[in-house]
Amino acid sequence: MKPLIAGNWKMNGLASSIAEIHALIDEFSGAAPDDRDVVICPPATLVATFAAEFSDEAIQIGGQDCHPAQSGAHTGDISAEMLADAGAAFVIVGHSERRADHGETDATVRAKADAALRAGLTPIICVGETEEQRKAGQALAVVGAQLAGSLPETADPFVVAYEPVWAIGTGLTPTTDDIAEMHDFIRAKTPAGMRILYGGSVKPANAAEILAIDNVDGALVGGASLKAADFHPIVMAAPGER
Protein backbone atom coordinates (compact mmCIF):
# COMPACT_ATOMS: atom_id res chain seq x y z
CA MET A 1 0.00 0.00 0.00
CA LYS A 2 1.18 3.52 -0.75
CA PRO A 3 1.71 5.45 2.50
CA LEU A 4 -0.38 8.55 3.06
CA ILE A 5 0.91 11.45 5.13
CA ALA A 6 -1.78 14.03 5.82
CA GLY A 7 -1.35 17.37 7.53
CA ASN A 8 -4.29 18.69 9.55
CA TRP A 9 -3.80 22.42 9.96
CA LYS A 10 -6.90 22.75 12.19
CA MET A 11 -7.87 26.44 12.74
CA ASN A 12 -4.45 27.71 11.67
CA GLY A 13 -3.31 29.36 8.47
CA LEU A 14 -3.82 32.56 6.51
CA ALA A 15 -3.30 33.30 2.83
CA SER A 16 0.38 33.97 3.57
CA SER A 17 0.79 30.40 4.88
CA ILE A 18 1.00 29.22 1.28
CA ALA A 19 4.72 29.99 1.72
CA GLU A 20 5.05 26.87 3.92
CA ILE A 21 3.80 24.65 1.11
CA HIS A 22 6.16 26.28 -1.34
CA ALA A 23 8.93 25.61 1.19
CA LEU A 24 7.81 21.97 1.44
CA ILE A 25 7.92 21.60 -2.35
CA ASP A 26 11.38 23.15 -2.36
CA GLU A 27 12.45 20.50 0.19
CA PHE A 28 11.10 17.87 -2.20
CA SER A 29 13.13 19.52 -4.99
CA GLY A 30 10.11 20.36 -7.08
CA ALA A 31 7.39 17.75 -6.48
CA ALA A 32 6.38 15.33 -3.75
CA PRO A 33 7.83 11.83 -4.27
CA ASP A 34 5.37 9.55 -6.06
CA ASP A 35 5.84 6.57 -3.73
CA ARG A 36 3.82 8.31 -1.00
CA ASP A 37 0.70 10.47 -0.99
CA VAL A 38 0.98 13.89 0.63
CA VAL A 39 -2.19 15.70 1.63
CA ILE A 40 -2.61 19.09 3.32
CA CYS A 41 -5.93 19.89 4.98
CA PRO A 42 -5.92 23.66 5.49
CA PRO A 43 -8.86 25.63 6.88
CA ALA A 44 -11.77 25.86 4.43
CA THR A 45 -10.86 29.45 3.51
CA LEU A 46 -7.65 28.21 1.86
CA VAL A 47 -8.82 25.02 0.13
CA ALA A 48 -9.56 26.58 -3.27
CA THR A 49 -6.39 28.65 -3.52
CA PHE A 50 -4.14 25.82 -2.35
CA ALA A 51 -5.81 23.30 -4.67
CA ALA A 52 -5.37 25.62 -7.65
CA GLU A 53 -1.79 26.49 -6.77
CA PHE A 54 -0.54 22.93 -6.18
CA SER A 55 -2.50 20.91 -8.74
CA ASP A 56 0.72 19.91 -10.57
CA GLU A 57 2.92 19.26 -7.56
CA ALA A 58 1.57 15.91 -6.28
CA ILE A 59 0.38 17.61 -3.10
CA GLN A 60 -3.30 16.94 -2.65
CA ILE A 61 -5.66 19.14 -0.67
CA GLY A 62 -8.34 18.07 1.80
CA GLY A 63 -11.05 19.65 3.91
CA GLN A 64 -11.33 19.20 7.69
CA ASP A 65 -15.07 18.51 7.85
CA CYS A 66 -18.17 18.44 5.64
CA HIS A 67 -21.92 18.53 6.14
CA PRO A 68 -23.87 15.37 5.25
CA ALA A 69 -26.22 17.24 2.90
CA GLN A 70 -25.34 18.44 -0.60
CA SER A 71 -26.73 21.96 -0.08
CA GLY A 72 -29.42 23.73 1.89
CA ALA A 73 -30.23 25.85 4.92
CA HIS A 74 -27.17 25.09 7.07
CA THR A 75 -25.54 28.41 7.85
CA GLY A 76 -21.79 28.17 8.23
CA ASP A 77 -21.51 24.59 6.97
CA ILE A 78 -19.72 23.36 3.87
CA SER A 79 -20.78 20.37 1.78
CA ALA A 80 -18.53 17.67 0.38
CA GLU A 81 -19.60 18.76 -3.11
CA MET A 82 -18.35 22.29 -2.34
CA LEU A 83 -14.98 20.93 -1.22
CA ALA A 84 -14.73 18.83 -4.38
CA ASP A 85 -15.70 21.87 -6.45
CA ALA A 86 -12.92 23.84 -4.73
CA GLY A 87 -10.39 21.19 -5.78
CA ALA A 88 -10.15 19.03 -2.63
CA ALA A 89 -9.56 15.29 -2.99
CA PHE A 90 -9.89 14.28 0.68
CA VAL A 91 -11.85 15.33 3.75
CA ILE A 92 -11.26 14.54 7.42
CA VAL A 93 -14.46 13.45 9.20
CA GLY A 94 -15.08 12.63 12.85
CA HIS A 95 -11.94 14.23 14.25
CA SER A 96 -12.08 14.01 18.04
CA GLU A 97 -12.15 17.82 18.27
CA ARG A 98 -15.35 17.81 16.20
CA ARG A 99 -16.79 14.86 18.09
CA ALA A 100 -16.13 16.77 21.36
CA ASP A 101 -16.74 20.41 20.34
CA HIS A 102 -19.73 19.79 18.08
CA GLY A 103 -21.28 16.70 19.64
CA GLU A 104 -20.75 14.57 16.54
CA THR A 105 -21.97 11.01 17.00
CA ASP A 106 -20.83 7.92 15.12
CA ALA A 107 -23.99 8.19 12.99
CA THR A 108 -23.13 11.80 12.08
CA VAL A 109 -19.61 10.78 11.18
CA ARG A 110 -20.86 7.94 8.96
CA ALA A 111 -23.28 10.35 7.22
CA LYS A 112 -20.36 12.72 6.56
CA ALA A 113 -18.21 9.88 5.23
CA ASP A 114 -21.06 8.83 2.94
CA ALA A 115 -21.36 12.45 1.77
CA ALA A 116 -17.65 12.57 1.00
CA LEU A 117 -17.87 9.40 -1.09
CA ARG A 118 -20.98 10.73 -2.88
CA ALA A 119 -18.96 13.82 -3.87
CA GLY A 120 -15.97 11.78 -5.04
CA LEU A 121 -13.76 12.67 -2.08
CA THR A 122 -11.81 10.17 0.01
CA PRO A 123 -12.90 10.48 3.65
CA ILE A 124 -10.28 10.21 6.41
CA ILE A 125 -12.42 8.83 9.24
CA CYS A 126 -11.01 9.44 12.73
CA VAL A 127 -11.45 7.16 15.74
CA GLY A 128 -9.68 6.98 19.10
CA GLU A 129 -10.15 6.47 22.82
CA THR A 130 -9.80 8.97 25.67
CA GLU A 131 -7.21 8.64 28.42
CA GLU A 132 -9.84 7.37 30.88
CA GLN A 133 -11.00 4.75 28.42
CA ARG A 134 -7.45 3.50 27.83
CA LYS A 135 -6.71 3.41 31.54
CA ALA A 136 -9.88 1.41 32.08
CA GLY A 137 -8.74 -1.15 29.48
CA GLN A 138 -11.52 -0.14 27.08
CA ALA A 139 -9.45 1.19 24.16
CA LEU A 140 -10.18 -1.68 21.75
CA ALA A 141 -13.87 -1.82 22.69
CA VAL A 142 -14.30 1.94 22.24
CA VAL A 143 -12.57 2.00 18.87
CA GLY A 144 -14.45 -1.13 17.80
CA ALA A 145 -17.75 0.60 18.53
CA GLN A 146 -16.65 3.77 16.70
CA LEU A 147 -15.67 1.69 13.65
CA ALA A 148 -18.96 -0.20 13.71
CA GLY A 149 -20.89 3.09 13.87
CA SER A 150 -18.80 5.41 11.70
CA LEU A 151 -17.45 3.44 8.74
CA PRO A 152 -19.42 3.64 5.50
CA GLU A 153 -20.63 0.50 3.78
CA THR A 154 -18.83 0.89 0.49
CA ALA A 155 -16.32 -0.67 -1.84
CA ASP A 156 -14.84 2.78 -2.54
CA PRO A 157 -11.53 3.65 -0.91
CA PHE A 158 -11.62 5.40 2.44
CA VAL A 159 -8.99 5.99 5.10
CA VAL A 160 -9.18 5.31 8.84
CA ALA A 161 -7.10 7.44 11.23
CA TYR A 162 -6.47 6.06 14.71
CA GLU A 163 -5.93 9.08 16.94
CA PRO A 164 -5.94 8.45 20.69
CA VAL A 165 -7.52 11.60 22.12
CA TRP A 166 -4.90 11.80 24.88
CA ALA A 167 -2.07 11.81 22.34
CA ILE A 168 -3.36 14.77 20.29
CA GLY A 169 -1.30 17.89 20.85
CA THR A 170 0.15 16.55 24.11
CA GLY A 171 3.54 15.18 23.05
CA LEU A 172 2.41 11.78 24.40
CA THR A 173 2.20 8.72 22.17
CA PRO A 174 1.18 5.11 22.81
CA THR A 175 3.92 2.48 22.90
CA THR A 176 4.74 0.86 19.58
CA ASP A 177 3.14 -2.35 20.92
CA ASP A 178 -0.09 -0.48 21.71
CA ILE A 179 -0.14 1.14 18.26
CA ALA A 180 0.53 -2.25 16.64
CA GLU A 181 -2.25 -3.91 18.65
CA MET A 182 -4.78 -1.22 17.71
CA HIS A 183 -3.82 -1.14 14.03
CA ASP A 184 -4.06 -4.96 13.78
CA PHE A 185 -7.49 -4.69 15.41
CA ILE A 186 -8.64 -1.95 13.00
CA ARG A 187 -7.27 -3.90 10.01
CA ALA A 188 -9.40 -6.89 11.01
CA LYS A 189 -12.52 -4.70 11.18
CA THR A 190 -11.96 -2.72 7.96
CA PRO A 191 -12.41 -3.82 4.33
CA ALA A 192 -9.19 -4.98 2.63
CA GLY A 193 -7.03 -2.33 1.00
CA MET A 194 -8.04 0.63 3.17
CA ARG A 195 -5.19 2.70 4.58
CA ILE A 196 -4.97 3.04 8.37
CA LEU A 197 -3.14 6.14 9.63
CA TYR A 198 -1.80 6.83 13.10
CA GLY A 199 -2.27 10.36 14.49
CA GLY A 200 -1.37 12.08 17.75
CA SER A 201 1.91 13.88 18.44
CA VAL A 202 3.71 12.56 15.36
CA LYS A 203 6.97 14.51 15.14
CA PRO A 204 10.19 14.25 13.11
CA ALA A 205 11.80 12.44 16.08
CA ASN A 206 9.23 9.61 16.36
CA ALA A 207 7.87 9.36 12.80
CA ALA A 208 10.20 6.64 11.50
CA GLU A 209 9.53 4.35 14.47
CA ILE A 210 5.74 4.79 14.23
CA LEU A 211 5.57 4.52 10.44
CA ALA A 212 7.56 1.26 10.48
CA ILE A 213 4.90 -0.53 12.57
CA ASP A 214 2.88 -3.21 10.73
CA ASN A 215 -0.50 -1.96 9.51
CA VAL A 216 0.48 1.70 9.98
CA ASP A 217 -0.04 2.99 6.44
CA GLY A 218 0.74 6.63 7.15
CA ALA A 219 0.13 9.44 9.58
CA LEU A 220 -2.31 12.25 10.30
CA VAL A 221 -0.17 15.11 11.58
CA GLY A 222 -1.43 18.20 13.38
CA GLY A 223 1.03 20.68 14.90
CA ALA A 224 4.07 19.34 13.05
CA SER A 225 2.37 19.80 9.67
CA LEU A 226 2.34 23.59 9.97
CA LYS A 227 6.05 24.04 9.26
CA ALA A 228 7.74 22.57 6.20
CA ALA A 229 10.88 21.97 8.28
CA ASP A 230 8.93 19.55 10.51
CA PHE A 231 6.53 18.08 7.97
CA HIS A 232 9.12 17.23 5.31
CA PRO A 233 11.11 14.78 7.49
CA ILE A 234 7.85 13.14 8.61
CA VAL A 235 6.77 12.61 4.99
CA MET A 236 10.19 11.17 4.15
CA ALA A 237 10.19 8.89 7.23
CA ALA A 238 7.42 6.76 5.74
CA PRO A 239 8.74 3.56 4.21
CA GLY A 240 7.97 3.36 0.48
CA GLU A 241 5.08 1.33 -0.84
CA ARG A 242 4.75 -2.05 0.93
Residues binding ligand PGA (CB under 6 A): 8, 163, 168-169, 199-202, 220-224
What is the closest distance, in whole angstroms, from the C-beta atom of residue 31 to ligand PGA in the complex?
25
Query: Is the CB of residue 74 less than 8 Å from the CB of residue 41?
Result: no
Helices and strands, number each (H, E), in the chain: 10, 8
Catalytic residue flag (residue 57): no
Q: Which member of 67, 104, 163, 232 is catalytic?
A: 163
Sign of CA dihedral 29, 32, 36, 40: positive
Q: For residue 65, give every residue at least 6 positions away whose Cβ sits within 8 Å of its Cβ, in sequence order, or none.
A: 78, 91, 92, 93, 95, 98, 112
What is the closest distance, in whole angstroms, from the C-beta atom of residue 97 to ligand PGA in the complex?
7
Q: Which residue is nearest to ligand PGA (CB)?
A: 222
What is the closest distance, in whole angstroms, from the C-beta atom of residue 200 to ligand PGA in the complex?
5
Q: Which member of 67, 95, 183, 232 is catalytic?
A: 95
Task: Quote the Cα angle for 6-9-13, to 5°.
Answer: 140
Query: Is the CB of residue 66 less than 8 Å from the CB of residue 78?
Result: yes
Cα–Cα distance, 161 to 88 (Å, whole number): 18
What is the closest distance, in whole angstroms, from the C-beta atom of residue 131 to ligand PGA in the complex?
14
Nearer to ligand PGA, 81 or 168 (CB): 168
Catalytic residue flag (residue 95): yes
Nearer to ligand PGA, 63 or 223 (CB): 223
| Residues labelled catalytic | 95, 163
